[in-house]
Amino acid sequence: MVELPDPATVTDALRAAASEEKRRVLSSFFKTGPGEYGEGDLFLGVTVPQVRRVAQEYNRMAREAGAWQRPSRGAREEKPSDAAAVAADEQTVCALLRSPLHEARLCALLIWVDRLLPARTPLAAREHIYRLWRRHTGCINNWDLVDLSTPQIAGGYLLAAGMDDAACLGELEPLFSSENLWERRMALLATFALIRSGRPGATLRLAGRCLADRRDLIQKASGWMLREVGKRDEALLLGFLRKHHAAMPRTMFRYAIERLSPAQRAQITAP
């Protein structure tokens, strides 16, 4: 049986893919300077595709070690999970998520996201990963970590659990009402999965509550989600904009109207 990699082994794999030039670029891009939103974050200099490959390789070895099973169509027999391997796997992924290294935290999140890709993933497995994710939101502290994990982990769970919009909003309320920038963004990004399923209601409710939030990363997230609503229902987006455009922060409005034609934009302020 394959031995499950420990956190140090996974981190070493990330270090092997790192570039000093990329480290400098990422440290600047993700605003790690004094007073910036990513202040103090430590980067190795690994790209997202490289981190994803490390996460996928970890999952391959975790399957071989009996730590988890990828649901497969028509499988006659699933290899049983090993309780000790399952416990060790959870400890490893959570240790990576608590790492001071940005790419290690990203790798932990992408390990979970990779496991949730199959539509046949059982609800119990989705909920377990979601609850672990919720317990570690303090470690998910930059926009890429939020954006690359939240729709799949949080949004995917809300959909799989069959929650209606009211229940989804109730589940997300502790995040949305948080003073923490990243938790507030998580609530918005969780609704992306609902938008993709033709359910924009929760997004519109939360976006309407973002009008007084002047933080750039919240304006961008709320405007982005509104734009996604408009991709699927332009009339719904235009109705929201006509109602709220006078109070909308500039960045939120700019992101929301990005895909609208000049004629559609003119409708927003038309009497």
Instruction: Tell me: do 127 and 261 sit in the same domain.
Output: yes
Instruction: Tell me: do 109 and 171 sit in the same domain.
Output: no
pLDDT tens readout for residues 1-41: 678 999 999 999 999 999 999 999 999 999 999 999 999 99
Instruction: Tell me: do 39 and 157 sit in the same domain.
Output: no
Instruction: Tell me: do 102 and 212 sit in the same domain.
Output: no
Instruction: Tell me: do 99 and 137 sit in the same domain.
Output: no
Instruction: Tell me: do 46 and 109 sit in the same domain.
Output: yes
Instruction: Tell me: do 32 and 82 sit in the same domain.
Output: yes
pLDDT tens readout for residues 243-270: 999 999 999 999 999 999 999 999 898 7
Instruction: Tell me: do 115 and 164 sit in the same domain.
Output: no
Q: Say whether pLDDT at 73 is over 90.
A: no
Instruction: Tell me: do 249 and 133 sit in the same domain.
Output: yes
Range of the domain at 36: 1-121
pLDDT tens readout for residues 168-226: 999 999 999 999 999 999 999 999 999 999 999 999 999 999 999 999 999 999 999 99
> Which of 121, 147, 180 lies at the terminal end of a domain, its last residue?
121
Instruction: Tell me: do 239 and 251 sit in the same domain.
Output: yes
pLDDT tens readout for residues 109-127: 999 999 999 989 999 999 9
Least confident piece of the model among 89-93, 117-121, 139-143: 117-121
Instruction: Tell me: do 134 and 253 sit in the same domain.
Output: yes
What's the 3-state SS for the chain?
A: CCCCCCHHHHHHHHHHCCCHHHHHHHHHHCCCCCCCCCCCCECCCCCHHHHHHHHHHHHHHHHHCCCCCCCCCCCCCCCCCCHHHHHHHHHHHHHHHCCCEHHHHHHHHHHHHHHHCCCCCCHHHHHHHHHHHHHCHHHCCCHHHHHCCHHHHHHHHHHHCCCCHHHHHHHHHHHHCCCCHHHHHHHHHHHHHHHHCCCCHHHHHHHHCCCCCCCHHHHHHHHHHHHHHHHHCHHHHHHHHHHHCCCCCHHHHHHHCCCCCHHHHHHHCCC
The CATH code of the domain that includes 227 is 1.25.10.90
More confident residue, 81 or 104: 104
| pTM exceeding the 0.85 threshold for the entire prediction | yes
pLDDT tens readout for residues 230-248: 999 999 999 999 999 999 9
> Which of 121, 136, 161 lies at the terminal end of a domain, its last residue?
121
> Which of 89, 121, 153 lies at the terminal end of a domain, its last residue?
121
Instruction: Tell me: do 126 and 189 sit in the same domain.
Output: yes
Count how many domains the chain has: 2
